[in-house]
Amino acid sequence: MINITFPDGAVRSYEKGTTALSIARSISEGLAKKVLAASVNGEVFDAHRPIEEDALLRLLTWNDAEAKSTFWHSTAHLLAEAVEAQFPGVKFWVGPAVEQGFYYDMDLGDKKMTEEDLAQLEKKMAALAQQDSPYQRIEIGKEEAIRFFTEKGDEYKLDLLQGLSDGEITFYKQGNFTDLCRGPHIPSTAPIKAIKLTSVAGAYWKGNEKNKMLTRVYGISFPNQKELDAYLLMLEEAKKRDHRKLGKELGIYTMDDDVGPGLPLWLPNGTVVIEELEQLAKETESAAGYKRVVTPHIAKESMYLTSGHLPYYADSMFPPMEMDGEKYYLKAMNCPHHHKIFDAEPKSYRELPFRIAEYGTCYRYEQSGELFGLMRVRCLHMNDAHIYCSKEQFFDEFKAVNEMYLKYFKIFGIDKYVMRLSLHDPEKLGQKYVNEPALWLETEAMVRKVLVETNTPFVEVQDEAAFYGPKIDVQIWSAIGREFTLATNQVDFNSGLKFKLSYTNKENTPEVPLIIHRAPLGTHERFIGFLLEHYAGKFPLWLAPVQVKVLPISDKFLDYAHQVQQLLKDAGIRAETDDRGEKIGKKIRDTELMKIPYMLVVGEKEMNEQQVAVRRQGKGDLGTQPIGEFVAMAKQEISSRKSE
């Protein structure tokens, strides 16, 4: 007998070799039907895999994340079975569950899969699922496994087998499909009731672009149609928040073939947002002791050789222009220019920390396939600044930067993000990272200390650092689930040496400063792209391109409407008047759709009493008030940068 401990602490005895499924059945038949897998001492087990020792058991149903992955991974096997039926000779690589659904990578030889095939495959999968085939776990020796896939001619599975040894190899079989797989799986195919294959894409074998490109089919599945429908609806809703769609609808930015890919043109509405953000940055940085600088958009090759950027990033810089035998590059980063500003005049320790800031325009030749709306562009405006300080000052400076981040995030109501401490990879010293092992460890410890001592939650990730030092990246997710770095805060122990920067310390000897690179608001492009999605286009009043729209009931009140608009403009409020010969209902509808925060409806009553009827976007009619009162209230809302 073995003892099974349940999540509530209850302990019961069962026969050795019992299964999660029979334990569930001993509780209730209904529960047994819902069990998809089980967590046994923290490891996810097939529901009908024998349990051989005392265990902490958690029965997993659809509501558990582990069960969902298991469910989706099992659906991936079902997909493989269907593909094998329709594309004989197909070879499979791997088919894991992902955050939302699953994929399977496969080599179709000279055959091609198109999106039309997906509908056929879905049908086939649904038919296979109905057969209620059990997922059988088969423990198998390496030799026999190799024989199986040699006969099948699947070199990808053979490649996988190379990394495995006897005793850890299992096959899973359902219906006519057998796969090398460590599992776990759901008990049978029956619970897979609703399947959607979402896309077919290419993916490099083992994620390496030098390898062959395999065909990847993405999909998702659910235990009932209702949940699938809800999921598809959610995707539709997410698309409405896509910054590319909102950016067009709200007149924020546009792209033009003649200008070039990845080169956004900021329309008047977008430019307002840019200027408000810059104003915020200026105020914040000025209060924090930064000075502003302006630098050219180009520089000679020699500077990027000094900085070390060129060898690392030549491929992602625009090719140089040659003039008078000199090569000039468009700047892909502001750092070297700023270092030259530090170096322009001799520095004393008394002048440190030396903080200089610039919304710097940079150009990066991102690969064509990497461009993505405003989130990944070739011309960007970076909320950049560099802080030159001594080692002793580093902690306070880095901490202050971190606090500035949090202050900004509060203003924007950003709470879904992950702070990522990005570290180097010792194996790539001298290649991807400057070869200064001791300095790496020292600065990484310094950064970690700031995070720990300020109780900032963070995750550590290897091999994500800048080439010159560790950094903290703030990771966010776009409306459609893509991950981006919104902001970055980096330590640089290398550029000071390379640019021979120094200051005179108290002992009257030269010392190399540490450099902090920081961009809490990232770039205008990515930040505004993010904000569009974050606010679903409904900017807070202070950021809204048009803050107030005056809506006259009819053109008899146009003069009064213009008076109101002028009063608003005089108060520094961005206001427009809808002077079209439309009915008020139509004007309201259009203004609502443009997501303009305030509508002031004016007609006979308002005109006679010098009032305005206030309507808030999304909230409806707020009643009538004297125009002066509204102006004062709006000014207050704007100056406090309230996020509503």
Partner RNA sequence: GCCGUUGUAGCUCAGUGGUAGAGCACUUCCUUGGUAAGGAAGAGGUCGUGAGUUCAAUUCUCAUCAACGGCUCCA
Scan residues 174-233 and list those touching RNA (CB under 7 A).
199-204, 207-209, 213, 215-216, 218
For residues 593 and 591, give the distance between their C-alpha atoms in angstroms, rounded to a whole number: 5
Task: Compute the least distance from the CB of residue 103 to RNA, in Å.
Answer: 8
Q: Which residue, 48 or 338, is less far from RNA as judged by CB?
A: 338
Residues of this chain, 475-494, that bind RNA according to CB under 7 A: 480-485, 488, 490
Residue 251 binds RNA, judged by CB under 7 A: no
Residue 599 binds RNA, judged by CB under 7 A: yes
Task: Compute the least distance from the CB of residue 249 to RNA, in Å.
Answer: 7
Structure tokens at 41: 């001492």
Q: Which residue, 127 or 593, is less far from RNA as judged by CB?
A: 593
Cβ atoms 60, 67 nearer than 8 A: yes
Paired residues of 156 in beta bridges: none
Task: Compute the least distance from the CB of residue 337 to RNA, in Å.
Answer: 13
Helix axes 627-639, 558-570, angle to 10 degrees: 40
Site stretch for RNA (CB under 7 A), options 72-80, 500-508, 529-537, 602-610:
602-610
Task: Compute the least distance from the CB of residue 195 to RNA, in Å.
Answer: 17
Contacts of 402 (CB under 8 A, 6+ apart): 450, 451, 454, 456, 472, 489
Closest CA to 196 of 122, 96, 130, 126: 122
Cβ atoms 532, 243 nearer than 8 A: yes
Residues of this chain, 321-360, that bind RNA according to CB under 7 A: 332-333, 335
Residues of this chain, 507-536, that bind RNA according to CB under 7 A: 517
Among 379, 466, 487, 564, binds RNA (CB under 7 A): 466
Whether residue 336 is preceded by a cis peptide bond, meaning omega within 30 degrees of 0, is: no
Closest CA to 125 of 177, 89, 170: 177
Paired residues of 254 in beta bridges: 265
Q: Which residue, 296 or 618, is less far from RNA as judged by CB?
A: 618
Q: Which residue, 389 or 613, is less far from RNA as judged by CB?
A: 613
Task: Compute the least distance from the CB of residue 217 to RNA, in Å.
Answer: 10
Residues of this chain, 96-125, that bind RNA according to CB under 7 A: 112, 114-115
The length of the chain is 644
Burial annotation 46-84 (CB, 10 A radius, 16+ → b, else e) = bbbbebeebbebbbbebebebbbbbbbbbbbbbbbbbbb
Contacts of 299 (CB under 8 A, 6+ apart): 328, 329, 331, 336, 337
Among 90, 169, 317, 421, binds RNA (CB under 7 A): 317
Residue 53 binds RNA, judged by CB under 7 A: no
Q: Which residue, 481 or 510, is less far from RNA as judged by CB?
A: 481
Residue 246 binds RNA, judged by CB under 7 A: no
Q: What are phi and psi of 262, to 5 degrees?
A: 75, 15
Q: Which residue, 44 or 561, is less far from RNA as judged by CB?
A: 561
Count CB-CB contacts under 10 A for residue 199.
11
Closest CA to 171 of 59, 108, 80, 98: 80
Task: Compute the least distance from the CB of residue 609 to RNA, in Å.
Answer: 10
For residues 601 and 627, give the distance between their C-alpha atoms in angstroms, rounded to a whole number: 11
Task: Compute the least distance from the CB of residue 201 to RNA, in Å.
Answer: 3
Task: Compute the least distance from the CB of residue 479 to RNA, in Å.
Answer: 10
Contacts of 386 (CB under 8 A, 6+ apart): 334, 335, 338, 339, 342, 355, 356, 515, 516, 517, 518
Task: Compute the least distance from the CB of residue 110 to RNA, in Å.
Answer: 10
Task: Compute the least distance from the CB of residue 554 to RNA, in Å.
Answer: 2
Residues of this chain, 537-556, that bind RNA according to CB under 7 A: 553-556
Residue 240 binds RNA, judged by CB under 7 A: no
Residues of this chain, 273-292, that bind RNA according to CB under 7 A: none
Cβ atoms 558, 604 nearer than 8 A: no
For residue 148, with 0-12 CB atoms within 10 Å meaning exposed, 13-18 middle and 19 or more buried, which class applies? Answer: middle
Residue 642 binds RNA, judged by CB under 7 A: no
Site stretch for RNA (CB under 7 A), options 62-70, 180-188, 348-356, 597-605:
597-605
Q: Which residue, 274 or 614, is less far from RNA as judged by CB?
A: 614
Residue 409 binds RNA, judged by CB under 7 A: no
Task: Compute the least distance from the CB of residue 625 to RNA, in Å.
Answer: 11
Residue 1 binds RNA, judged by CB under 7 A: no
Among 20, 57, 385, 601, binds RNA (CB under 7 A): 601
Residue 606 binds RNA, judged by CB under 7 A: yes
Residue 373 binds RNA, judged by CB under 7 A: yes
Among 68, 91, 244, 424, binds RNA (CB under 7 A): 244
For residue 324, with 0-12 CB atoms within 10 Å meaning exposed, 13-18 middle and 19 or more buried, which class applies? Answer: exposed
Residue 43 binds RNA, judged by CB under 7 A: no
| Amino acid, res. 137 | R
Cβ atoms 295, 332 nearer than 8 A: no
Residue 268 binds RNA, judged by CB under 7 A: no
For residues 428 and 434, give the distance between their C-alpha atoms in angstroms, rounded to a whole number: 9
Residues of this chain, 295-314, that bind RNA according to CB under 7 A: 309, 313
Q: Which residue, 40 or 568, is less far from RNA as judged by CB?
A: 568
Count of residues that interact with RNA, criterion CB under 7 A:
81
Q: Which residue, 84 or 606, is less far from RNA as judged by CB?
A: 606
Among 260, 319, 510, 628, binds RNA (CB under 7 A): 260
Among 99, 257, 324, 345, binds RNA (CB under 7 A): 257
Q: 264: which DSSP letter?
A: P
Among 275, 580, 626, 629, binds RNA (CB under 7 A): 580
Q: Which residue, 226 or 556, is less far from RNA as judged by CB?
A: 556
DSSP per position, 416-463: --EEEEE---GGGBTTTB-S-HHHHHHHHHHHHHHHHHTT---EEETT
Q: Which residue, 129 or 486, is less far from RNA as judged by CB?
A: 486
Among 419, 521, 613, 638, binds RNA (CB under 7 A): 613
Residue 21 binds RNA, judged by CB under 7 A: no
DSSP per position, 456-510: ---EEETT-SBTTB-EEEEEEE-TTS-EEEEEEEEEESSHHHHTT--EE-TTS-E
Site stretch for RNA (CB under 7 A), options 136-144, 165-173, 403-411, 600-608:
600-608
Structure tokens at 643: 């996020």
Q: Which residue, 49 or 378, is less far from RNA as judged by CB?
A: 378
Cβ atoms 525, 374 nearer than 8 A: yes
Residue 443 binds RNA, judged by CB under 7 A: no
